[in-house]
Structure 1
């Protein structure tokens, strides 16, 4: 589910950036990618240059929804399952620099501005309201899973200390970036223990009359 959610956001964001890019910017939809920004400075990772990179940096359980019911009604009775885990995802969206562009930093700032504009204008995402996502037409994804994708995205502001710690942990040189918090995604396993409906109660307790 995490991969599906991030793919949906990537597809929608890439279309917006390409449609609204500044004159002279050669970015194409395939330049908006899901990747680990920590690998940007590694040898052989030149494919991260001149891109908009979406990186998952943290997951957090939504504690307010932790104690859900573990009884699921079915046509044949009930099923006892563990309640789903609801997660908040923290993603870092980075605009990396192109090595061969004279105005690389300026283009990176412009792309980051488009990222912020995009999420400012559209904060809620479902498969139904995301026409540019390949998920909607993917027959390998069940309709039930598609219906479960309901996301709210908000800008998550870091302090200077948190920014330094984050990029220090990533081990790379800092590039223009913004962090977003994605609420909520549901993770669950469909296996469980099935039981029939209770249709009749029988009391076999012996009753003794006391005279």
Structure 2
């Protein structure tokens, strides 16, 4: 589900950036990618001149932690662990083109488009995202598609947090923004079923 959530955002963002890029900008929809930005300077990795979406942290949504463990069925009671609702912290980086004279300016403009896109649209589902390929993927169950509902908000870091973040990623800082993606639902479709208790027997101890 985490991969699908980020793919949904990538598909929609890719279309928006490509449609609103500058005429002289050579970026394509395939240049908005899901990748680990920490590998930007690794040999064999070409992450230059792209918009890179990286998952940097996950946390459980504590307000939804205590869900119901049982549900009634025709034959008894079904016991199931409640789903985990996650908040995802994603880093969106506009990397620089090595051969472009105005690489930094292009990166800043692309980052502006990213912020502009998420400012205009904060809630995502498969139904309200016409440019994602998830909707036409028959390998994904319809139930999963219906459950995919994301709320996006800009997450501001302090200078100390920024320094620690890029230090842990091991790369040079590029123009970026961070977003908190709320309520990614994770659950396993397994459960135990027990019959209803219809009668209680009492036994008396004789001394």
TM superposition score category, shorter chain reference: over 0.9
Give 1:196-211 correspondences, 5 Å limit.
Answer: 196=195, 198=196, 201-205=198-202
Give 1:1-211 correspondences, 5 Å limit.
Answer: 1-45=1-45, 47-74=46-73, 76-196=75-195, 198=196, 201-205=198-202
- SS of the aligned residue for 1:108 comes to helix
RMSD: 1.5
Determine the C-alpha separation between the residues in 2 that align with 1:112 and 1:158: 16
Determine the C-alpha separation between the residues in 1 that align with 2:131 and 2:75: 39
Bigger CA drift: 82-91 or 72-81? 72-81
Structure 1 residue 195 displacement after superposition:
2.7
Q: 1:156–1:201: structure 2 CA closer, same or farther, 3 Å change rule?
A: same
Bigger CA drift: 14-23 or 69-78? 69-78
TM-score by length of 2: 0.94
- SS of the aligned residue for 1:184 comes to strand
Determine the C-alpha separation between the residues in 1 that align with 2:180 and 2:198: 49
Structure 1 residue 194 displacement after superposition:
1.7
- SS of the aligned residue for 2:54 comes to strand
Residue-by-residue CA offset, 1:27-75 (whole Å, 9 max, x unaligned): 1100000000000011111x20000000000001111111111113445
Q: 1:2–1:75: structure 2 CA closer, same or farther, 3 Å change rule?
A: farther
Q: 1:26–1:75: structure 2 CA closer, same or farther, 3 Å change rule?
A: farther
Structure 1 residue 203 displacement after superposition:
4.6
TM-score by length of 1: 0.92
- SS of the aligned residue for 2:68 comes to coil
Determine the C-alpha separation between the residues in 1 that align with 2:72 and 2:90: 35
Structure 1 residue 76 displacement after superposition:
4.9
Q: 1:22–1:122: structure 2 CA closer, same or farther, 3 Å change rule?
A: same
Paired residue total: 204
